Amino acid sequence: MNRDFTVRKVRVGEWAVEVVLFAAAASAIAIIGGILYVVLSEAVKFFGQVSFLEFVTSTTWTPTFDNPQYGIAPLLTGTFMSTMVALVVAVPLGLLVAIYLSEFASPHARELIKPTLELLAGVPTVVYGYFALLFATPLLQRALAPFGIELPGFNLLSAGVVMGLMIIPTIASLSEDAMRAVPRAMREGSFALGATRLETSLRVVFPAAVSGVVGAVILGMSRAVGETMIVAIAAGQQPVMVTSPTQQGATVTAFIAQVALGDIPFGTLEYSSIFAAGMALLALTLVFNFIAFALQRRYREAY
């Protein structure tokens, strides 16, 4: 009798755990669905009055002017430029840190360095923004002056560099996890053939972990694309076609923040334009995620 009661109690407990876990998973899906509904429903209102062809082909973005134009290209060029600068900074530094932590650091050094590095991810982005504006920009101005490059006070270069510093923990931590997941036998086989630790790291461990590394880089890229405060503070808010990181420019997120905090009346076309820009940003992020998924499946190694 007691045994049957215990079995039923265990089954009820397992059922309750399954219900809680299912509710957690379903709530995540529901939240994503709600976000998509809000963005797409408002974007549909926008495209009911503005041609989608104009939105994707025009090179002028002036939704709050008397003669408004709605070409998303200037915001996308600013977003791409700041993201590319961030990746140029973050990818090499993040991968070097990951290789060091995975292959060279002692357990004590790893336990000290990795949590310290991840503290960078907890710094508020508004702090990074003012760091870019008040420290990185003057430093880059002095560094580029001897080469005849005049850097304006607001520019995408300093914003991108500081964004790169911000996403280093993401790339380094996830890449290090992928490298540490490579079986120890592969390292030992490489050492047995006479390879040095550096050769083993670069020619054995890194290629074996490349799918995880690619995922880390794409995740860092997605975070850079969606960053708001750094570019809003340090890059300027002038929506122009950007061809160089030394220019000032506006990104999609900076425009959304600018309009959302302004006095644009709710329900107007200008207000709906932030949802159209958000839809473009969402589509861009989804493309990056699909690319990461495809690359991970293509290069994933099974051990």
Tell which wins on pLDDT, 56 or 263: 56
Residue 303 has pLDDT above 60, yes or no: no
CATH code: domain of residue 207: 1.10.3720.10
Is residue 68 in a domain?
Answer: no
- Please indicate, yes or no, whether residues 244 and 188 belong to a single structural domain of this protein: yes
**Distance (Å, rounded) from C-alpha 69 to C-alpha 72?**
9
Residue 272 has pLDDT above 90, yes or no: no
**pTM for the whole thing?**
0.85
Percent of the chain whose pLDDT exceeds 70: 94
Is residue 121 in a domain?
Answer: yes
Angle at CA of residue 195, ends 192 and 198, nearest 5°? 135
* 14: containing domain: 2-48
3-state secondary structure of 20: helix
Residue 50 and residue 60 in contact, taking contact as beta carbons nearer than 8 Å: no
- Please indicate, yes or no, whether residues 42 and 80 belong to a single structural domain of this protein: no
- Please indicate, yes or no, whether residues 34 and 78 belong to a single structural domain of this protein: no
For residue 70, the cross-strand partners are: 61
- Please indicate, yes or no, whether residues 13 and 99 belong to a single structural domain of this protein: no
- Please indicate, yes or no, whether residues 286 and 184 belong to a single structural domain of this protein: yes
Which of the residue ranges 120-129, 220-229, 290-299 would you say has the lowest mean pLDDT? 290-299
- Please indicate, yes or no, whether residues 42 and 119 belong to a single structural domain of this protein: no
Is residue 127 in a domain?
Answer: yes
- Please indicate, yes or no, whether residues 86 and 197 belong to a single structural domain of this protein: yes
Is residue 56 in a domain?
Answer: no
pLDDT tens sequence across 61-103: 887 777 878 888 899 999 999 999 999 999 999 999 999 998 8
Residue 55 has pLDDT above 70, yes or no: yes
User: What are 268's two structure tokens?
Assistant: 């107007």
**Distance (Å, rounded) from C-alpha 275 to C-alpha 226?**
14
Is residue 26 in a domain?
Answer: yes
Question: Which residue type, as a one-letter code, is found at position 274?
Answer: I
Mean pLDDT in residue range 35-47 = 86
Residue 78 and residue 163 in contact, taking contact as beta carbons nearer than 8 Å: no
User: What are 216's two structure tokens?
Assistant: 């880390």
Identify the CA nearest to 235 among candidates 218, 254, 220.
254
**Distance (Å, rounded) from C-alpha 234 to C-alpha 237?**
9
- Please indicate, yes or no, whether residues 40 and 91 belong to a single structural domain of this protein: no
- Please indicate, yes or no, whether residues 133 and 28 belong to a single structural domain of this protein: no
Is residue 141 in a domain?
Answer: yes
Is residue 130 in a domain?
Answer: yes
Residue 172 and residue 240 in contact, taking contact as beta carbons nearer than 8 Å: no
Last residue in a domain, options 48, 65, 85: 48
- Please indicate, yes or no, whether residues 122 and 25 belong to a single structural domain of this protein: no
**Distance (Å, rounded) from C-alpha 286 to C-alpha 290?**
6
DSSP alpha helix (H) spans, the chain: 2-47, 52-57, 73-99, 107-118, 125-131, 137-144, 156-180, 184-192, 197-200, 206-208, 210-225, 229-234, 252-260, 269-299
Write down the pLDDT at residue 49.
Answer: 86
The domain tally of the chain equals: 2
pLDDT tens sequence across 180-215: 888 888 888 888 888 888 888 888 888 888 888 888
Last residue in a domain, options 48, 65, 86: 48
- Please indicate, yes or no, whether residues 178 and 101 belong to a single structural domain of this protein: yes
Angle at CA of residue 214, ends 126 and 209, nearest 5°? 125
Identify the CA nearest to 281 among candidates 120, 23, 72, 124.
72
**Distance (Å, rounded) from C-alpha 72 to C-alpha 45?**
17
pLDDT tens sequence across 96-148: 999 999 888 888 888 888 888 878 878 888 899 999 999 999 999 999 988 88
Is residue 58 in a domain?
Answer: no
Residue 81 and residue 160 in contact, taking contact as beta carbons nearer than 8 Å: yes
At 19, give phi and psi (nearest 5°): -65, -45
- Please indicate, yes or no, whether residues 20 and 106 belong to a single structural domain of this protein: no
